[in-house]
Structure formats: structure tokens, C-alpha cells
Amino acid sequence: MRFRFIIKLNRTLTLTYCRKMASSVESTGSNRAMYPDIEPFQTGMLIVSDLHTLYYEQCGNKDGNPVIFLHGGPGGGISPRDRTFFDPAVYRIILMDQRGAGKSTPAAELKDNTTWHLIADIERLREELAIEKWVVFGGSWGSTLALTYAEKHPDRVKALILRGIFTLRRKELLWFYQEGASYCFPDAMDEYVKPIPEVERGDLMGAYHRRLTCEDENVRTECAKAWSKWEMATSRLHVDPTLLQRAEEDSWALQFARIECHYFVNGGWFETEGWILDNVDKIRHIPTTIVQGRYDMVCPAVTAWDLHKAFPEAEFHWVPDAGHSNKEPGTQSKLLDACDKYKHL
């Protein structure tokens, strides 16, 4: 009975999503190149608890306009490319690996790893670097974290740059991890469900969580790769083989899958289902740009549209020929434009 209910619910969500995508389209515009590669002028390890230590780095202009880049996942970690959205002559660029991700230690650790721990970590880093206010950039899970941080600390945010909007509502999770996106990627879905016995497939997130937290290292690794491959296979309009290769890296896949699944089965520890949208009035005075790929399978466009309706003051951009990735040309260009728009705040 429960399995039939989930199928019915997700078919309804699929139809709703497709109808929502039938609204207005704007042209992508010119495709911009990223700023040149740069190296950090400072790296550090910030102790945030008896257990967790976070890696962070600063790049660009030491005396420039501070901006923090919040990576996706959760569990995805930062990369050198993330530095290059920002004009290094103007911005003081701060990047941080969240708890358990990237170079932060201990790797893939789930204890004391919640949304509210991460919000406190961002504030801790701001204080450590003696920054009064900063621009906050976040995509996918990074958009969740950016919105939540701004709603908790609106006086610390100069502007928000958001991409691939994700508010961690149950229907968003069911769309991607249970059935909805499978209507477009049935072949990738077959690979995703392969490690899970058919009897458990009515709750794929729960089934994965049991395996990603079990004692058997081989089971954890197999499931981490399958979970990660599903997202890598569906995150772009045209599948990127390099993303699929990344999902084969044991350490990265374990960080990514374990932490994501941990957050999602716990609903992000939000007090209510729609907590982010319910609290959006707290940030409607903050200059904000929202960039959303029309054919985003990972974070369906209906979520960005819901945010747009709740936050009409924000500048909103559809990218008509893009999925979820910030590497797709139209999305990349719009994000670069947004970063340039706020660099002299």
C-alpha cells in the first residue's frame, strides 16, 4: 500500500513539474568564460568542535569585497574552479569545506553534522576572518544553506547569488530520489536502484541510509558510488563523463553519498516542512539573484518558481537550455553576471 502511494504521489509531482516548466522563457544570452585560475593567498583549518575541523581558503583581493562560496551536496566539497566565478581584483573570495566534506576532518563524519551546525560554522568563520558583512553564493544544497544562513543572520548578508534552488521539502526529495526524475532517466534509475532489493525500493532513501551507515565497508562503498553516480548522470542536459568518473572515487563518493543521505532522511532538521519559504520575508530586503536551469532534474524548477513567487523582489533568471550544473554555459554566464553586479556593494 505504501509503495503504491509513493508511486501515485510522484506521478502527480511529475505532471505538476512539467506543467510549471511551461511558463515564460528568456534567452540565454552570451556565454561568458570564467575568471582566470587563481591560488589562495591563505588556507586554514578552523576547529569548530572537539570532533570537527574545517578547511577554508581565501583568494583574490585581501582588502576586497568579501564573498563566501557555499558548495553543494551536502558533502560535495569545494574545487579550484569555484574560485573563478569572482573578479579576483575586486573580491575577497572565501571558500569552505563543510563538515565531513573535502579536506575537512574527519571525512564523511555524520556525528554533530546538521544544517544548524553548518550555519553556526559559517558564522564562526565570518568572525574568525573579522568580516562584518559578505556576499553569499550558493548553488543546489549551497542555495539551501545560503537561504537558511541569510534568514538566521540577515544583518550579515550584503547580497545573495543562488542557483539550482533546493529547499529540502519532502516532495523535492521524492522527485529525485524516489521516482520523478526516472521518467527522463530510466536507464540511470535502473543503475541507481540496483544495490537495493526490490522489497525495499518503496523507500530508496531509507534503504540507502541503512547501507551507507552499516559496518560493511564494501557495502558502504558500493552504495556510495551508485548514489553518487545517479546525481552525476542526471545533473546536466548533456551527460558529462568526467562527473561519472568522479562518482567512482571511493573517498569522494563516501563523503558525498553518506552526508547527503544523512541530511535527507532527517529532513535537514528543519522545524517545519517549508521552513525556508515560510521565513523568506526576513530576507526580502537583501539584493538577490536567482538562476535556475529550466530542465534541472536534481532540483526541479518548480522550487525556484515557488521561491520567486514568495520573493518577487529578487532578480530571477530562467536558463532555457540547462539542467542542474553550474558548468552549463547559460547558467555559468548568468552567475558571472550576478557576481559582477554585486562586486562593488
Which positions are catalytic?
A: 140, 296, 324
Asked whether the bond before 36 is cis by omega within 30 degrees of 0, the reply is no
Cα–Cα distance for residue pair 336/345, rounded to 1 Å: 15
Cα–Cα distance for residue pair 211/219, rounded to 1 Å: 6
- How many angstroms separate the Cα of 15 from the Cα of each of 9, 22, 158, 169, 171? 10, 11, 37, 17, 13
Task: Decide if 290 contacts 138 (C-beta within 8 A).
Answer: no
Supply the DSSP symbol for 107. T
Q: Output b/e per residue, 171-206; b: 16+ Cβ within 10 A.
A: bbbbbbbbbbbbeebeebbeebbebbeeeeebbbbe
With a CB cutoff of 8 Å and minimum separation 6, the contacts of 62 are 41, 92
Sheet of 288-293: strand order equals 42-47, 53-60, 91-96, 65-70, 134-139, 157-163, 288-293, 315-319
Rg (CA), the chain: 19
**Among 211, 259, 216, residue whose Cα is nearest residue 109:** 259
The DSSP bridge partners found for residue 59 are 93
Give me 29's grid cell: 544570452
CB atoms within 10 A of CB 212: 24
Task: Decide if 164 contacts 298 (C-beta within 8 A).
Answer: yes
**Among 328, 238, 239, residue whose Cα is nearest residue 291:** 328
Task: Decide if 65 contacts 345 (C-beta within 8 A).
Answer: yes
